[in-house]
A = this chain, B = another copy of it.
Amino acid sequence: MSKNNCLIGQSGGPTAVINASLKGIIDRVKASDIDNIYGMRYGIEGALAGNIIDLSQKNSKELNLFNNTPSSILGTCRYKIEDYDENEDDYHKLFNLMKELDIKYLFYIGGNDSMDTVYKLNNYAKEKNIDLKIMGVPKTIDNDLVGTDHCPGYGSAARYIATSVMEIARDSFVYDIKNVHIVEVMGRATGWLAASSILASTEKLYTPDLIYVPEMEFSTSDFVNDVKKKMEEKKAVTVVVSEGIKDKHGEYISADSSTEHDKFGHKKMGGAASVLAPFIKGNLCNRVKAIKFDVMQRAAAHCASGRDIEEAYLLGEKAVEAALLGESGLMTALKRLSNDPYKIEIIKIPAEKVANKVKLLPDKYINEENNRINEEFKDYVLPLIQGEAGVPYQNNLPNYSELDSLNEDLALRF
């Protein structure tokens, strides 16, 4: 008799809470009449290579670590499937694999590219009359998915960024020397992450002094003037920039470094902050630091927001419930009902409305001078960093999963 199995995949950049969504899905599936739970290793790309893991085997001891373990436990990819009327190869491979595994439900946790995959696979299944329910679950620290108030992963990254900027700002005041700290955070297309640094600002400690996001047109000369003006008022100036800030021609500021080569003939590696720092150093002051939060901002589960974990879990769980009710081609999403008390509702939106789209930081949050974020943004972001993360500790270090799933030996191959 044909089984009633499900397949789960993770896709795109990891977040601190993407495995909470995975756990939400697994827990809800286990409480249903679905038989086996399979996982794609390395997302759709891994699945196309027949790289599948049997998640039914996971014991609850390891599963219990999922809520607090950063990185994508199943592995992830950045892979775009073509339209099936242009190239059907991927569809053949994937649907054959799913037939072989008796997959009736597919859950895909990811961002706007992943929702494009959900949309396309769902269309194909409908067209070919294949019995498959496909649901998307949102995640991205970038917070730039349309149709949802915010994205799982963002609240935790925001908490990490705000906390670290608070600490850096305090550190910047210790020497009696003029100095500038330029902190670079992720966000290629949008400034949601950079904007969250406004949370570091308190009544007596105004910091960051300047925040630049990709939604602004960035000019290095305006930047130098902004910093100069701030330095006339205070000793230490803290600046936060999105990696994706662009000049008036739409060129990334960070591009200046990526085309340069060092004396070994190596391509220089850098980012927006390290390109900007030399405009200040030696010119306005001698102590300038370019700091990059790098992968820590998406992996720092020790600094996660409990609410973020909870919502990530819930969005996974509700995706299963929708699929069990026969829904397909949708993404679960968050609608904010009120801020005080904070209340959300889980809604579902067509994956096609999310696919390949980007939600920019609204103009109302950008100050008139185009060099900072308005304090009103706190009302939006503060509720998202709340709640105890409940990180389990062992020897005062986080007890994270050891990623058995990524151990080559455990993989099934098809």
A interface residue numbers (CB < 8 A to B): 14, 41-42, 45-46, 51, 69-72, 75-78, 159, 162-164, 166-168, 170-176, 181, 199-200, 202-205, 256-257, 260, 262-264, 266-269, 274, 277-279, 281-282, 288-292, 294-296, 298-303, 305, 382, 385-387, 395-398, 400-404, 406-407
Contact = CB atoms under 8 A, between A and B. Distances in A.
Contacts of A202: 402
A294 B181 CA distance: 11
Contacts of A268: 262, 268, 278
A184 B53 CA distance: 35
Contacts of A171: 14, 70-71, 295, 298-299
Nearest to A401: B170
A45 B266 contact: no
Nearest to A173: B406
Contact of A174 (B14, B164, B300): B14
Given A204-B404, A387-B396, A299 B170 contact: yes
A325 B400 CA distance: 49
B281 A267 contact: yes
Given A167-B295, A264-B279, 12 more contacts: A75-B174, A163-B398, A164-B296, A164-B300, A166-B397, A170-B403, A204-B404, A262-B278, A266-B281, A269-B281, A302-B303, A385-B397
For the complex of A and B, the 7 pairs showing the least CB-CB separation, nearest first, are A266-B278, A71-B170, A167-B299, A204-B402, A42-B176, A171-B299, A72-B174
A181 B395 CA distance: 25
B14 A77 contact: no
Given A76-B174, A268-B262, A385-B396, A167 B281 contact: no
A301 B397 contact: no
24 contacts: A51-B176, A75-B176, A76-B175, A78-B175, A162-B397, A164-B300, A166-B397, A167-B299, A168-B296, A170-B400, A171-B295, A171-B298, A171-B299, A173-B403, A260-B263, A266-B281, A266-B282, A267-B281, A268-B278, A269-B281, A302-B303, A305-B396, A385-B395, A386-B395
Nearest to A164: B296
Contacts of A176: 41-42, 45-46, 51, 75, 77
A217 B397 CA distance: 31
A262 B264 contact: no
A274 B278 contact: no
A168 B298 CA distance: 9
Contacts of A289: 294-295
